[in-house]
Amino acid sequence: MQHGKYRFIVGFLAAPLALYAIFVIWPFIQSIYYSFTDWTGLSPDFEMVGFDNYSKMLEDQIFWDSLWHSLIFALLLPLVTLGLALFFAFMLNVGGRRRKGAAIAGVRGSGFYKIAYFFPQVLSIAIVAVLFAFAYNPNEGAINGLLRAVGLDSVQPQWLGDPDTALWAVMAVLVWSTVGFFVVLFSAGMASIPKDFYEAALLDGASRFTTFFRITVPLLWDTVQSGWVYMGILALGAESFAVVQIMTVGPGGPDYSTTVLVLYVYQTAFRDGQAGYATTIGVALLVITLALAALVMRVGRRERLEF
């Protein structure tokens, strides 16, 4: 009986594991292999160059600038996005005023707010980037137009044209486009927390601020931790690439002020024809992503709370 059970399990998992190995593991192995070559990405001919690509990467200032921008995204984007999402979800579920028949309730119109916050998730990130590129236009954009409307004519930043503001303008778009997903996710988690916990805390004289940090965050910590890892991967991957590629001058400018690692991999491979060097940067990006995920899981590990 036991032998038949294990045979069934192995047979059930064989096809998925084979597909995973072919389409995920094997490309990783190929990338590591090509990182030791001078492959152009077009010609079938290439030579092994050893660690030359890695030595070149360590001396490449654009690589270090891109790495710094990616780390800013990976550290600040989850912090801002998850912080806002937790606050909004708390207000929508338990942060409202006490009403007749319900000591614990969300703000009025919470159902509408959840839809409004989630709406950016319906839009493609490419559409969001195009819309905000128009909004950031210094002459005809909605943001500077609003500043002029309220009498701030002297405050007219070159949002995407100034190296000091371009990176933060791009990050704001990523926050706007992703915060709604986590508002809905955290709202679902908060809805499962018994209201008795909040009522007992309020009867003991706890403030909303205290209940947020003493009840809500500890009971949602596993969800927050998973969200941090997801946001870190998102910030290092396709989302940041799409926004920077579409919105910024160059793209990646001005003066490489918004270039991120994934964009630099794309430019090196398809613009410069240095696929071998691009895979080297890609391997570095893989190591950084895995290290970030492991760090978050390690630092954020705590005793599991159940209710």
Contacts (Cβ under 8 Å, ≥6 apart) of 71: 288
| Average of per-residue pLDDT across 249-262 | 89
Share of the chain above pLDDT 70, in %: 92
Per-residue pLDDT reduced to its tens digit, 63-74: 999 999 999 999
pLDDT of residue 122: 85
In order of 90, 95, 269, 300, the CA distances from 189 in angstroms are: 10, 15, 42, 18
**Over 60: is that where the pLDDT of 300 sits?**
yes
pLDDT confidence of 204, banded at 50, 70, 90?
confident
| Average of per-residue pLDDT across 142-154 | 85
C-alpha 114/C-alpha 296 separation (Å) is 28
| Average of per-residue pLDDT across 140-154 | 85
Mean pLDDT across the chain: 85
Per-residue pLDDT reduced to its tens digit, 15-62: 888 999 999 899 889 989 999 999 888 888 888 998 999 999 999 999
pLDDT of residue 307: 54
Per-residue pLDDT reduced to its tens digit, 75-121: 899 999 999 999 888 888 776 566 555 556 666 777 777 788 888 88
The domain over range 61-299 is classified in CATH as 1.10.3720.10: yes
pLDDT of residue 37: 92
pLDDT of residue 102: 53
C-alpha 30/C-alpha 18 separation (Å) is 17
pLDDT of residue 302: 65
Contacts (Cβ under 8 Å, ≥6 apart) of 170: 160, 240, 243, 244, 247, 248, 258
SS3 99: strand
- Report the range of poorest mean pLDDT among 47-56, 216-225, 265-274: 216-225
> Which two structure tokens, joined as six digits, stand for 173?
């778009």
Contacts (Cβ under 8 Å, ≥6 apart) of 256: 62, 65, 66, 250
Closest CA to 161 of 82, 242, 58, 251: 251
pLDDT of residue 98: 61
pTM for the model: 0.86
> Which two structure tokens, joined as six digits, stand for 141?
């954009």
